[in-house]
Structure formats: C-alpha cells, structure tokens
Amino acid sequence: MHAKKDTGVDALVDQVLASYEAGPRSMHHIGAYELPQQAEVQRCIETLRALLLPGFVGSTLVNGGGGNVRSYVRERIDDLESRLREQVYRGLHHRCGFGGPDRKAPCSACSAAAEGITARFLTAIPELREALATDVEAAYEGDPAATGTDEVIFCYPGLYAITAYRMANRLLRDGASIIPRMITEQAHEKTGIDIHPGATIGKWFFIDHGTGIVIGETTIGERVRIYQGVTLGGRSVPKGKAHAPDAKKRHPTIEDDVIIYANATILGGETVIGRGAVIGGNCWVTTSVEPGARITVDECGTQRG
C-alpha cells in the first residue's frame, strides 16, 4: 500500500531546496567533506577534563592501583588524540580551499598540521593541569562559601569555563582553526560565561558565580577575581580590521591581583587596570586605573575613584 503523497509538504521541500540554490553558499554545507562536529568537540572537552580531574570527571577510580590508573590515562589519551586530531583537521581543511569547493581530496598539509597541533597539545596536558590546580585553589581561597576544593571542582561553573578556555587557548596558539572557538562556546552555552580563546589569562584565576561574564581578547594577570556580569570588551573597529597586521590592541589589560565586582564594564585597548586595583560593581571604565585604586559607584550613581 503506497503512502499518500502530501503535495503541500512536497511543495515546501522544493521551496527549501530552491533557497539553497539561490541563497549564499555560506548558509549551507552540502559537499563531499565533513565539517567539525559539535558532539565530538564536546566529547574531547570531557575526555580532557577526565585527564585533568581524574575521579571527579569520568569513570570512578576505586582501589585502582598504579597499573589501573595508567591504563585509564592511556585509554583516554589515545581516545583524545584520535578525536581531537580529526576535529582539528576538519577545522583547518574547511578553510584551506584545497581540492576546490567540495574539498573532495584529502589535504596532506592540513593533515600534517592537525597531527602536529594535536601532538603539541597532548604534551601540554601536565602544564594545563598545573595551571588548573592554581585556579581551583584560587576559587577555594577566594570564596568564603566554598567548603572544599572538591566542591569547587564539582559545582563551580567558573572552573568549567576556565578549563575550556585553557584548552582552547592552547590549541589556538598552536594553530588550530574554528575548534578553539567551538570549545569556548560549548562552555558559554553550559555556564553563561563567554571567554574568547585568544585571551591571555594568568594563573590563580577565579570567576565567582559567572553568569553573563564576557571576556574578549584581553590580557589578564595572575590572582585576578571576576564576578558575574563583568564585561572586558573591545572598542568597535571596521569589519576586517580587528586582526589586520597594523591593528591596535582593542581589549583592556588587567594586571595582577585585581578584583572586578558584578556588572562592571571595562573597555578599550589602551585601558590598563593597575595591579591591586578594585573595580566596584556597575562601574563603566574606559580609561586606565592606577595600581591599588578603588573605583566605585555611589548611591547617587556618580562614579568615584
């Protein structure tokens, strides 16, 4: 028995297909090669987190012994290597242009680049873990409500976002394309914290609460504390000029030991927040702040420093 043809749906299908042909090619991807996959990128994040925070993330390690732990680590490194290399390759190949519009042929240059980027990233795992340990300690020491570092690891969205950022930043510095931004946007979706992978962030970084934080390609020193709703943003420039060879720095510099309270906004590449300064809640800052200064908004809405 044949299904009844739905002419209304068929007509809609024809219209959608026609829109693919008429619209810009950038609005669809119908070709021979595959794009990076969100689900695979997410799996890479979780596998790395299991390596950085074993037992807290991933399989429970009980009465493991050295051999079992070694096997656990080896399995996850092998899994991360293959998955991450494939996604990095796809991110590079998507933009390289080799093989024409459909990129039908494998690209040896992208393959070699992806292999090198992934290898360098894997060797940096101990370094990433060292940095993350300082972030955990900063959260525990900086939040009087924290009952232990285990609570920080299990519960704090800021730590998740920082972990994703440190992974993405390393990949970006090694030459990966698209994947670093996909990683930080996964964290953005999960936590409400938006960190550009190109930011430079020192150790002992603490994000408290976190929802609504936006951190652009800024520079942040060590032992910096940021609360919810903070924006570290850039001044607007014409499209295509932000990464030009002669482009000026667009985002602020936050020196060591700075505290930035909720809903403060700091903008501009020439803006430097000096070491030990405190930026009060709801402040709007577009000029540099001296080291140790206190910037606040009084009850009348007047900003004082």
Residues 74 and 157 occupy one common structural domain: yes
Domain count, the chain: 2
User: CA-to-CA distance for 65 and 132, rounded, in angstroms?
Assistant: 24
* 226 shares a domain with 170: no
What pTM does this model have? 0.88
DSSP conformation letters of 42-109:
HHHHHHHHHHHSBTTBSS---S-HHHHHHHHHHHHHHHHHHHHHHHHHHHHHHHH-TTTTTT-S--HH
Domain with 253 in it: what CATH number? 2.160.10.10
Q: Does 181 lie in the same domain as 234?
A: no
Q: Is position 12 within any domain?
A: no
Q: Are 43 and 185 contained in the same domain?
A: yes
pLDDT grade for 36, boundaries at 50, 70 and 90:
very high
Residues 199-246 have pLDDT tens digits of 999 999 999 999 999 999 999 999 999 999 999 999 776 666 666 666
**Is residue 24 situated within a structural domain?**
no
Domain that holds residue 51: 31-58+70-192
- Bridge partners of 219, per DSSP, are 200, 253
pLDDT, tens digit (0-9, with 9 covering 90-100), for 94-146: 888 665 555 566 789 999 999 999 999 999 999 999 999 999 999 999 999 99
